[in-house]
Structure 1
């Protein structure tokens, strides 16, 4: 039978007690992690969010009734214990923060009983994720998940304090906004008061934070929920959290400088990692040419090499055909993997096909300097040797080549180098390699829509030296955009914004908006720009992704309290779900059966 606290007050969390408290009487409360009955003594490991503490129940101290009560407690019961702190009577447990002490109980109250949980509450659980997410409230009791969420809280708190000291104001922006579809799909919210009209949940506070700059707030920040109705991956959720900021009267270097100091401060304080400043910068073009990715992982080498000039006159039509179609031939050198079994090489070929490759050419160099190749018969010995030399191939190396349009070659080899590095154990989660990627293309051409789309968003400023190309060669215009990358994951991105009306109008025109369309979607922003707008720039971090990397986890679901699964459903609450016909009628909505 559950009891009330009856005036008891917790004096300490479990791990707030140490040898310095020996002899003191304390009151602790928490969950029963484990109970061991030794006949005349009962040992209980008590757990709260701080950790574990050993309690001893002895009938001589707690009385017959109290001892019988202790005999009846089970795992996950919630209990309150009053007792005296003593040095451990048995061996010291060096793995526990409280391993030198124990509490000799003089009073016990069972505050709540528990059924047997569907899985053990323990660290590094091997239980299927679906079951853990269905009972997320139990899963969240596990110490490793609690540590992740405690870390997340520290990151948020430190970020707020740091930015406040840098003159940023925390200002909330609306959750119910106007739909301005450009990029990912909006989540729509029907209006009861305005039947047939819809709000959208924000994909980011982008337009509002720019309006705040127009309003003179100078430096804005917000830790804010954002929503995107898109297909999910391990690092995507339909709702996610951004550390969002915008600054006035600044350029790229100003934004980068304050954010480098922010990152150094947070990583040092939370996980004791020294971020070397300044953080390396690399242009988008260099990143793509060297790593095949605009978010390169710098923890290992295996860089791409362009061998187009070496093979342009060779007899292998797969290579020469790609070059004739305006593409390139590039390769990576998997050092020391020349003896890789054919079956594994075939698996890499299939992997490459998943990124758009038609195939993958290879040269495996034997230890004696001879080699076997998937295309050697089409090339002369001199051509093969020139190719091996260009790739810096040594005995025991495996050379892999992709030939196609640049975009496909980059995608294929960029993904392949990470896949191979992962299989070789080169992705050390204890190493933190930061990188700024700059000078992104302003626009990318969409074959599907037969028009240019914004690589970041429509309010990104072109680089001043490329402004004259907006008319003549828009595809070559670079943006004043910058992403912050950590270990091959983009953790944040931003840009200098357009603050001149004629450039903004030109940008929207390039994106296929008529003046009427532009005003229909973004009129309030364009109007605001008529009344004096300062030069401004901003950046937003994905808080979930950043904490995932700091906690050395593989999925952001491990650092979000109540995440959705890949189809955007919540296994615990069974959301989304149907609603009453009465609610639909109030909203003037009708469901069409598919």
Structure 2
């Protein structure tokens, strides 16, 4: 191994130990007689320290050539910091460098490797391998890994079996268009990428595998939406010899397990709502209950009053937006444009102000 420890591992208990670290240069602070280097890997940041008169002059000269994102290997002694940094786990120590080797030089990155970076979306996507070094991106990948790990742990404990199903398949009727792949062996014929493993999991049920799951890639050639892209991953499950209550309890248990083990959050029993209730009070089969703005039926109040839009409508409902009576005309126009977006699909917005003094 090129390193003895990671950059997020060393603590005050390691003082006076000889260590070897590798990583990327996050920043260099040169104060003339004193020089500090923040060395980063995916585990954290460790501060390196060099001092004129005590460190080898050749070492200082090499250190002053370092730029951001240089990959280096250092050896040194762990020392207690004089000015500790409580914001990072390694903030009590630093490394007094005795050896420094540049493993790979780097051009100046096109944006800073920080949580709040100065790079726009297009620039970060162009240099994705650099963007992946940022904490917020890495933490998202680690969260995804932990969720997949705990999903498998839970489903394994419930006697599910994980089965990988084919990716190159025959086209099957689904809710979107298929992505197709030409066959080299059979000219003029095509494979389809699966929109879901539906056919295969049904075969597994018929074959006697009564509990199946797979964390599977699916492909759908359809327009982008906020919750859907052409390639996505889903937790795909199938069960035999069960009723509705068994399914609800099984996957409520899965969500509770993932939140508890990954985020340390204990969830209470989930409230349940029928489809009819959801559509009647929220107009959606996946309502966001955080806002509490239920639909209120207004047919008796507004029909037959000579307003054609309401008179011709089968159902007229309204939302009570508490506090919105004070909105300016500009804010109301912005709301109108918001509901006209394709994701919502409304043609406009009708509003009435109910003021604090009771006037409308």
Verify same fold: TM over 0.5: yes
Which residue is 1:365 aligned to? Answer: 354
State the partner residue of 1:494. none
**Mapped partners of 1:166, 1:363: distance in 2:** 53
Cα deviation 1:490-526 (Å, max 9, x = unaligned): xxxxxxxxxxxxxxxxxxxxxxxxxxxxxxxxxxxxx
Partners of 1:369 and 1:190 in 2: CA distance: 68
**Count of residues paired in the alignment:** 358
In structure 2, what is the Cα distance between the partners aligned to 1:235 and 1:101?
A: 44
Give the CA deviation at 1:255: 1.8
1:318 aligns with 2:309: yes
Given that 1:58 and 1:105 are in contact with CA atoms closer than 8 Å, whether structure 2 keeps it comes out as no
CA distance in 2, matches of 1:356, 1:70: 59
Q: 2:72 matched to which residue of 1?
A: 79
Does the aligned pair in 1 maintain the 2:174–2:195 contact within 8 Å? Answer: no
Give the match's secondary structure for 2:318.
strand
- Flag the 1:157–1:356 CA change in 2: closer, same or farther, 3 A: closer
In the alignment, is residue 334 of structure 1 matched against residue 326 of structure 2? no
Distance 1:274 1:349 in 2: 39
Q: Name the CA distance, whole Å, in 2 between partners of 1:259 and 1:126.
A: 41
Partner of 1:16: 9
Which residue in the other structure is 2:135 paired with?
143
Partner of 1:284: 275
> What SS does structure 2 have at the residue aligned with 1:240?
strand
Aligned to 1:37: 30
Equivalent residue of 1:254, what SS? helix
Which residue does the alignment assign to 1:160? Answer: 152
- The alignment partner of 2:324 has SS state of coil
Q: CA deviation at 1:358?
A: 4.2
> 8 Å contact 2:74–2:101 — kept in the other structure?
yes
Within-5 A mapping of 1:91-490: 91-277=83-269, 279-322=270-313, 327-354=314-341, 355-371=344-360
- Contact 1:221/1:244 (8 A) holds in 2: yes
1:314 positional shift:
2.8
Aligned-pair CA distance for 1:218: 1.7
Cα 1:11/1:285, change in 2 over 3 Å = same
**Inter-partner Cα distance in structure 2 for 1:67 and 1:141:** 27
1:214 shift after superposition: 0.9
* Preserved contact between residue 110 and residue 119 of structure 2 (Cα < 8 Å): no
Q: C-alpha deviations, 1:325-365, integer Å up to 9, x for none?
A: xx101001111211211222233233334444443322112
1:14 is paired with a residue whose SS is coil
Q: Offset at 1:309?
A: 2.6
Kindly indicate which of the two structures has a greater share of residues assigned to helix.
1
Q: Is the 8 A contact 1:79 1:111 kept in 2?
A: yes
Contact 1:59–1:66 at 8 Å: present in 2 too? no
Q: Which whole-Å CA distance do the structure 1 matches of 2:95 and 2:245 have between them?
A: 56
Q: Distance in 2 between matches of 1:155 and 1:352?
A: 34
CA distance in 1, matches of 2:212, 2:24: 42
Normalising by structure 2, report the TM-score: 0.94
Q: Aligned partners of 2:53, 2:249: CA distance in 1, in Å? A: 65
CA contact (8 A) 1:22 1:87 kept: yes
SS in 2 for 1:46: strand
Q: Any conservation in 1 of the 2:195–2:218 contact (CA below 8 Å)?
A: yes
2:112, 2:118 within 8 Å by CA — same for their partners in 1? no
State the secondary structure of the residue aligned to 2:316: strand
Could you tell me how far apart the structure 2 residues matched to 1:96 and 1:351 are?
Answer: 42
Cα distance in 1, alignment partners of residues 35 and 292 from structure 2: 57
Deviation at 1:209, TM superposition (A): 0.9
Other structure's SS at 2:236 match: strand
* Distance in 2 of aligned mates of 1:162 and 1:76: 40
Give the deviation of 1:184 after TM superposition. 0.7
Deviation at 1:60, TM superposition (A): 5.6
Deviation at 1:59, TM superposition (A): 5.3
Paired with 1:49 and 1:250, the residues of 2 have a C-alpha distance of: 44
Shift in alpha-carbon separation, 1:357–1:120, aligned structure 2, 3 A: closer
Q: Structure 1's 234 and 357: CA in aligned 2 closer, same or farther, altered over 3 A?
A: closer
The verdict on how the C-alpha distance between 1:71 and 1:347 changes in structure 2, with shifts beyond 3 A counting, is: closer
Quick one: distance in 1 between partners of 2:346 and 2:138?
Answer: 42
RMSD: 1.7
- The runs of 5 or more residues in structure 1 that have no matched partner are 1-7, 372-594
SS at match of 1:121: coil
Residue aligned with 1:338, SS? helix
Q: Which sections of structure 2, spanning at least 5 residues, go unmatched?
A: none
Question: Can you list the C-alpha shifts for 1:393-425, whole angstroms capped at 9, x where unaligned?
Answer: xxxxxxxxxxxxxxxxxxxxxxxxxxxxxxxxx
**1:381-403 CA distance string (max 9 Å, x none):** xxxxxxxxxxxxxxxxxxxxxxx
SS in structure 2 at match of 1:236: coil
**Aligned match of 2:45:** 52
Aligned partners of 1:285 and 1:262: how far apart in 2? Answer: 26
Which segment drifts farther, 241-250 or 171-180? Answer: 241-250
